[in-house]
Structure 1
Amino acid sequence: MNVRTLCLSILYEGESTGYEIRRLCVEGECAYFIEASFGSIYPALAKLEDDKLVTSRTEQQDGKPAKKVYSITEAGRAAFAHELAQPLGEDMFRSPFLLFARFAHILPAALVEERANEFLQSTLDKRKHLEDAAAKRSCNASDTWVIDYGRAIMELAEQHMRSHMHELITLARAEPGKDAAE
């Protein structure tokens, strides 16, 4: 899966601007699929337009710069379906928190506890975000399945943190005055 396919997936559901696509990729329902930046979204949209898979129109806005609104073409719909039919790559999971946890033993216990609580709160926030997304929109069966999968992952992460956070904190240095680099 790539940014180009992600853009087609969003446009498959309806018109959108590059900014709206980016928002969906960062804080919206597409944030769980692949990472996409403005620096990758706009070139992907330009290439999709060159390939006649999307079209665009410019809309004037009062007191703001004009915005470019993208729509998927029939060729774009066919290309999207073709891309989905290709073999999938491996899922990627990256977690800065897990790197932090791996080296908890060199850090002060208070810091490890603080970061663990932040991670737990972030997990709870993500889970609530998924629940809100499900409640806000009329979901089809596929949307519901994906949201439920995300909920299950977040619930499991929450349970693990609540059950094992103390173990991580115990691994941390008991001497807060010591420099972690020692």
Structure 2
Amino acid sequence: MSTRKFCLAILSSGDATGYEIRKTAQEGHFSHFIEASYGSIYPSLAKMEQDGLVTWREEISPGKPSRKIYSITPAGRDAFVQELSETPVEDLFRSPFLLLALYSRWVGGEFISKEIDRRIEHLELKIGGMTHELEICEDPASAWTLEYGITTLSASLNYMKMNRSKLERIASERVSHAQAAE
């Protein structure tokens, strides 16, 4: 998902500051769709303003810095619907853990065991957080996406638990740095 589409999605639900958009990317239910930084959000908002897709107003509070509050325009809503109507690209899946698993023989079994424990804990926390979100969710489409996420993460967690010994065995066949370079 492009940063532009992400920002339009957030703004289609209500006005927001750049900070609030970023926070939603990190902590909200949109965190499952995109990793967006301030370095990509603000340029995207500026470009969308030039294109007439968003507007902003300044909010001044005594003793605080002023804030830009962004709003989607009717043209922005149309652009968002148009982008949603395009066939989605393939889902992106990147896993630093899988790179570690691929080269597990370089780091050894003890290290891999600790990383598997960390990964299991991470997955359990993610599933728990999403399950909590699902319990308080009132939107059927949001509930469906949360259920999908919980199901895929649960499959990953189950695989990790069922096959950890296999990866630990592979990692215990540690190769030397000289062998790895060959």
Q: TM over 0.5: same fold?
A: yes
Counterpart of 1:24 in structure 2 is 24
Q: How does 1:163-174 map to 2 (within 5 A)?
A: 163-173=162-172
- Over the aligned positions, Cα root-mean-square deviation in angstroms equals 1.7
Q: Which runs of 4+ in 1 moved over 6 A?
A: none
TM normalised by structure 1 equals: 0.91
Moved more, 41-50 or 61-70: 61-70
TM-score, length basis structure 2: 0.91
Specify the code of the residue in structure 1 equivalent to 2:115.
R
Kept in 2, the 8 Å contact 1:17–1:69? The answer is: yes
Partners of 2:162 and 2:62 in 1: CA distance: 53
Q: Tell me the alpha carbon deviations over residues 124-169 of structure 1, each in whole angstroms, 9 at most, x when there is no partner.
A: 1111121222234x43111111010000011111111111111111
Could you tell me how far apart the structure 1 residues matched to 2:131 and 2:45 are? 30
Distance 1:19 1:180, change over 3 A: farther
- Structure 2 unaligned residues grouped into runs of 5+: none
Q: Given that residues 105 and 173 in structure 2 are in contact (C-alpha distance below 8 angstroms), is that contact kept between their aligned partners in structure 1? A: no
* Aligned mates of 1:60, 1:119 — CA distance in 2: 44
Indicate if the aligned counterparts of 1:107 and 1:180 stay in contact, CA closer than 8 A.
no
Amino acid across the alignment from 1:181: H
Partner of 2:140: 141
For the pair 1:157 / 2:153, whether they are aligned, the reply is: no
The size of the alignment, in residue pairs, is: 178
> What is the match of residue 33 of structure 1?
33
Residue 9 of structure 2 aligns with an amino acid whose one-letter code is S
Identity across the alignment (%): 38
SS of structure 2 residue aligned to 1:68: strand
| TM-aligned CA deviation for residue 80 of structure 1 | 0.4
